[in-house]
Amino acid sequence: MAEHESLEFGKADFVLLDNVSMEEFMANLKLRFDKGRIYTYIGEVVVSVNPYRAMNIYGRDTVEQYKGRELYERPPHLFAIADAAYKAMKRRNKDTCIVISGESGAGKTEASKYIMQYIAAITNPNQRAEVERVKNMLLKSNCVLEAFGNAKTNRNDNSSRFGKYMDINFDFKGDPIGGHISNYLLEKCRVIFQQEGERSFHSFYQLLRGAPDSLIRSLHIQKDPAAYNYIKVGGQIKSSINDGADFKAVADAMKVIGFTGDEIQTVYKILATILHLGNLTFGVDGDVTLIENTKLVSILRELLSTKEENVEKALLYRTVATGRDVIEKQHTVQEASYGRDALAKAMYERLFCWIVGRINDIIEVKNYDAKIHGKNTVIGVLDIYGFEIFQNNSFEQFCINYCNEKLQQLFIQLVLKQEQEEYQREGIPWKHIDYFNNQIIVDLVEQQHKGIFSVLDEACMNVGKVTDEVFLQGLNTKLAKHAHYTSRKLSPTDKSLEFDRDFRIRHYAGDVVYSVVGFIDKNKDTLFQDFKRLLYNSSNPVLKGMWPEGKLSITEVTKRPLTAATLFKNSMISLVENLACKEPYYVRCIKPNDVKSPLLFEQERCRHQVEYLGLLENVRVRRAGFAYRQTYPRFLQRYKMISEFTWPNHELSSDKEAVKRLLQGCGFDHDVAYGKTKVFIRTPRTLFSLEEQRAEMVQRIVLFLQKVWRGTIARMRYRRMRAALVILQAYRRYKVKSYFREVHRRFKNVKSMKDYGRHVKWPTPPKVLRKFEEALRSIYNRWWAWTLIKGLSPEEALQVRAKVACLEALKGQRADLGLQRAWEGNYLVSSHNVYTQINPTVSGLHHIPLQQLCFFQINHFNKAENRAVLITDRHLYKMDPLRQYKPMKSIPLYNVTGVSVSPGKDQLVVFHTKDSRDLVVCLQGMVPANESRIGELVGTLLNVRCGLMRLVAAGLHGAQSQLSSLEP
């Protein structure tokens, strides 16, 4: 049973129908068609319904789904059958074949292409060039054969008008190494005549509508198909075929396959010759038959690479040898026209056979020695015309329907044979099934001396004028008592038959009325020897090689050639023998409607096809004993979760015992049989019950597996996190220890260093030790400071304290505070002190001077002037150095609200006053004349009495907010 197909799509296998009846069969087929399921199994047979639309079920992803899978493991598909045939060939080293059958328009040709596509896709994993070449040519050959062997009919736009059987050869590794194509009964009468609404072979229209202008001119043809008598019936018919694009595709395919440029050009010349022959007309001048349009003779001479007089002579005369005498007999207009048409048909048939032979020459296996290279195995693909019923059924339809009778006979025999052999092999009793054996119809056609073909051949060999009516009389004489044959003479009251024209055969697929008109001529297939000699004597080697009989002398006696019926019968017998020695797989194609609609399912039409394809009979044969069978390991693999004795693995003696225990536990032991290697289930209901139980258990198993898997994932995640944490902790310990070791290494000798390690660069700490590093640096700095000050004298200690106080007050606002030198403190007693130069009689200077500064200012005229500042314990004086430091302005200290200093090197100092008349001082040129005097100034102010300390402190606090507003 195919997996992944719910019952909403119907039964994926017709064998699983509850009741085997035509009504249930058709209902299931229609349901699947409506749901877009065009494939259904009958055991190992695929029933295919033409969807008449493109379906996205043939891509590379679909190929991978079916590659290497068992037939029942995936939904029904052509790929499943192709894979089964390939596996049987590769695993069991056995030749296999895939037989595709069905009426015209049912999709046989498309099915064969998809099967070829699948086989090409699953082989050759190593992409070897030779194998790729073979595969490419096998696929391209389809394109060429369709162009020259297919035509548009009223039933199908791409109908195969010939039978094709292709053998694909594989080496012992399963890679394609070559192939061979056999063709059967090309419908060559289509070359000169087509029914209303149909076309001739695609090749003619492709040439006219797709060839470049230069080629058209060289062939002396025009692009309008209606201009040629042979194909004008189909020249104006619209179809879905793009002849122009197909012409290029076919030309490219021929080049890929290996046709030379001259060979391809010869093909076009033959097609053009046939078109010109159709326009050739004959007239009468007295008793002489003439060619009316002689210009065409010159064109034919050029295209056939022969002499013009030889062309005209072959068309108008027939050479007859009577003993040693050679007589040229002139044709009548009717005989000339017959000869012209026979030549056109024969040329096209020879061209088609030559193309098939040329492809075979290229793709056939060469230089293959089984002793060296291993056994050569084969997969055969048969794409042959389907059973046809027309209003006027001709000789070709009779042969086609006979072919289908032979294949149907083989199908029934092989299916019954396979079933019987399997039951015998497994030791299961076989129940006989009554079925219609169409051997009686096959014998009606091909039996020696009594069959229709024999009667037809006898009529053709009679001396004198033989007509189709004579042939019909022979049939009526020899087959009068046959249950499947009748005619108007034998059934006078049957008005559906015409006197002296029609006969009816009761085929397996239904009754078909045939018209004997043309049977004799088509069976004789007469082509005057003059035409064979004409074409053999062509200077074109390709054309010459197509007509080897032309080299025979006119007087040379040869055997009577075999008739078309005999040749076809022999080829069918050979084909059936070839298929019978292979393991067969079947694709049965059904055409759902006649209007090519993807939505319409015509019940009666499909029912008729089901009947003549024997599908319902096939289901009955398959259901004769047991509807389903499977090997014990495969059965257990699918259903073992149902029983506690088999889940997850059984401990019984064998898989067979385990299956017995499982089915007994489910209560199905009465509906099964146990073979040697397989279990057989009688009714589909048992299988559906097993499927339901399995579906229920699968849900529980899935939940259990989800639980176990989620727990496994959680444990895996926990172990990963724990491992990561351990690694992280170890790494952190390593980084901490490494940091400690590095600090110890760098600072272990700082006591002996001149600067006690101030130049040593601290190593970068790990993140976890950043705060510790700050504390460690603080400890080191305190140790370093203590080391420096422990050797200072009390005086030096006081000066350091002043410097520290200044540094703290300015909070890093100055780049240099003179900390690297000793502060003199009281500059009034210095030899450089300007206070001694001040006139002692100047009033207001009786208080104690504390500090003196020199500076310059910009006056109202934008000129710099030198000034001096003297700070006492009560006042601040601005003095003029040029007038013996005469005081110019005095500011009581209680009026000073603060002091601001610049953060740069400009030595700018601002004394703020209550009346907002601030004094701005720019230090200059005093001893010591550098910017460090600011630090000493601030240090001096910090050492005066408490009131002055508070004043200066307030000024310094204000400096922080005002420094940003000062310009350097």
Tell the burial category of 7 from Cβ atoms under 10 Å away from its Cβ (0-12, 13-18, 19+): exposed
Catalytic residues, by residue number, are 104-105, 109, 156, 159-160, 386, 388
Strand order in the sheet with 628-631: 628-631, 678-681, 672-674
Question: How many residues comprise the chain?
Answer: 968
Strands 288-291 and 317-322 turn out to be: unpaired
Q: Which residues contact 191 (CB under 8 A, 6 or more apart)?
A: 200, 201, 230, 274, 344, 345, 348
CA atoms in the 13 A half-sphere facing the CB of 919: 28
d(CA 162, CA 349): 11
Burial 604-637 (b: 16+ CB within 10 A, else e): ebbebbbebbbbbbbbebbbbbbbbbbebeebbe
On whether 925 is known to bind a ligand per the annotation, the reply is: no
On whether 323 is known to bind a ligand per the annotation, the reply is: no
Tell the burial category of 679 from Cβ atoms under 10 Å away from its Cβ (0-12, 13-18, 19+): buried
On whether 105 is known to bind a ligand per the annotation, the reply is: yes
Q: What six digits make up the tokens of 142?
A: 């389809």
Q: What six digits make up the tokens of 265?
A: 């050009």
> Which of helix, strand or coil describes residue 674?
strand
**Which CA distances in Å does 281 have to 224, 292, 333, 375?**
19, 6, 9, 57
On whether 656 is known to bind a ligand per the annotation, the reply is: no
Strands 896-901 and 908-913 turn out to be: antiparallel
The dihedrals phi and psi of 504, each to the nearest 5 degrees, come to -120, 135
d(CA 593, CA 105): 9
The dihedrals phi and psi of 305, each to the nearest 5 degrees, come to 55, 50
> Which of helix, strand or coil describes residue 607?
helix
Q: What six digits make up the tokens of 319?
A: 């050479």
Each as own residue / partner, the long-range contacts of residues 601-606 (CB below 8 Å, 24 or more positions apart, any chain) are: 601/30, 601/33, 601/34, 603/26, 603/30, 606/26, 606/29, 606/30, 606/49
Q: What six digits make up the tokens of 786?
A: 């203590």
Tell the burial category of 469 from Cβ atoms under 10 Å away from its Cβ (0-12, 13-18, 19+): middle
Q: Which amino acid is at 404?
A: N
On whether 935 is known to bind a ligand per the annotation, the reply is: no
Q: What six digits make up the tokens of 315?
A: 């068309």
On whether 5 is known to bind a ligand per the annotation, the reply is: no
d(CA 686, CA 692): 10
Please name every residue paired with 920 in a beta bridge, in sequence order, or none if there are none: 910
d(CA 915, CA 492): 150
d(CA 509, CA 588): 14
DSSP per-residue string spanning 801-818 = HHHHHHHHHHTT--S--S
d(CA 216, CA 889): 122
Tell the burial category of 710 from Cβ atoms under 10 Å away from its Cβ (0-12, 13-18, 19+): exposed
d(CA 408, CA 402): 10
On whether 102 is known to bind a ligand per the annotation, the reply is: yes
CB 603 within 8 A of CB 26: yes
Place of tokens 């394609």: 176
Among the listed residues 311, 304, 281, the one whose alpha carbon sits nearest the alpha carbon of residue 220: 304
CB atoms within 10 A of CB 707: 10
On whether 106 is known to bind a ligand per the annotation, the reply is: yes
Each as own residue / partner, the long-range contacts of residues 699-702 (CB below 8 Å, 24 or more positions apart, any chain) are: 701/641
d(CA 939, CA 806): 6
Q: What six digits make up the tokens of 522?
A: 């088509």
Binding-site residue positions: 102-109
Binding site for ATP, by residue number, is: 102-109
